[in-house]
Amino acid sequence: MSATNEDAILIVELSKLGAMMGVPDASRIVFAEDFDPDSVETGDPSVQKVLNFSETIATLVKNDLLDRDLVHDWLWITGIWERLGPAAKRARERTGSTALYENVEALATVQAGA
């Protein structure tokens, strides 16, 4: 799939959505030097915002509704997963659901291998 003008428009709209959700502020917390991936949980508001936003984007990519390469140019999905994957995996264990955040994990894996 090649990026289209529609993909670009969707990226801009997703950026607006992320801003309305508070993702930029949450990202600053998640990527702060004192953030501890091994102690935070998915109930933390910043973790929740970044993971849910990333999962939305990854789901669009998975379903060929948004160009993967364009998303990889836009977001460091691998870094997001490195910071928040431990919390997501703990949530999977608690709930018994392997589907939690599976799309963001898959997209991060692809980006890491690229």
Measured CA distances, 64 to 23, 26, 76, 86 (Å): 23, 27, 19, 27
CA angle 82, 77, 9 (to 5 degrees): 160
Task: Write out pLDDT tens, residues 20-32.
Answer: 999 999 999 999 9
Two structure tokens written together for 5 = 């003008």
Give the pLDDT confidence score for residue 10 in this predicted structure.
Answer: 96
Q: How many domains does the chain have?
A: 1
- How far, in Å, CA of 84 to CA of 104, rounded? 10
Task: Write out pLDDT tens, residues 54-93.
Answer: 999 999 999 999 999 999 999 999 999 999 999 999 999 9
- How far, in Å, CA of 26 to CA of 28, rounded? 5
Q: Residue 26 is part of which domain span?
A: 5-33+42-113
Q: Which regions of 1-114 does DSSP assign to beta strands (E)?
A: none
